[in-house]
Amino acid sequence: MDLGLKGLKAVVTGGTKGIGRAIARTLAAEGAHVALCARNADEVAMTALEFSALGVKVFGGVTDVADGPGLAAFVSAAAEALGGIDIVVANVSALAVAGDEAAWQSGFAVDLMGTVRLVNAAMPHLERSAHGAIVTISSVSGREIDFAAGPYGAFKAAIIHYTHGLACQLAGKRIRANSVSPGNTYFPG
């Protein structure tokens, strides 16, 4: 399949497992250069090596998206390594479904602020791109009341709202912003 991504430069948070890994691999298979991050150094190194075999530049960074300065440093290093940024995919989630205060704080720091900080850090690069695109990974739990109606669902709903606002605000700059809301997704591990 040719999605017209050859040579574009993409950043994917949480790119070593599950949905993020599938996104990063698909981008690389389509010829996009990819920067990915996760918290586990061994998984980042192995995934970057595997995806670089697809014939594209791959940059891996060990990053916790809840660490604002660390996330900004990763985005800056990714832009340097890839020669810019055309696409950002905010994929990471704390998967906070408990109702206690710690779950609310974790969901806020990782799901919501990890997304906002990624977009803010990438914005100068996206503004210079002729192909600027922001993709946020939400969830059906952000639109429906289900088992994750607590912090997880609330922050996924906030991500949908945030992304809709970005789409309206950035249209004049020709930067697209879209949210994807997958249902339950199962993967090994």
141 is catalytic: no
162 is catalytic: no
106, 129, 139, 179: which is the annotated catalytic residue? 139
179 is catalytic: no
CB atoms within 10 A of CB 184: 10
Q: What are φ and ψ of residue 175, in 5° steps?
A: -110, 120
139 is catalytic: yes
93, 106, 129, 138: which is the annotated catalytic residue? 138
106, 129, 141, 156: which is the annotated catalytic residue? 156
Q: Cα dihedral sign for 157, 140, 133, 49?
A: positive
Which residues does 182 contact at the CB level (< 8 Å), separation at least 6? 19, 137, 139, 140
CA angle, residues 156, 119, 64, in degrees to nearest 5 = 75
141, 152, 162, 179: which is the annotated catalytic residue? 152
Q: Catalytic residue positions? A: 138-139, 152, 156
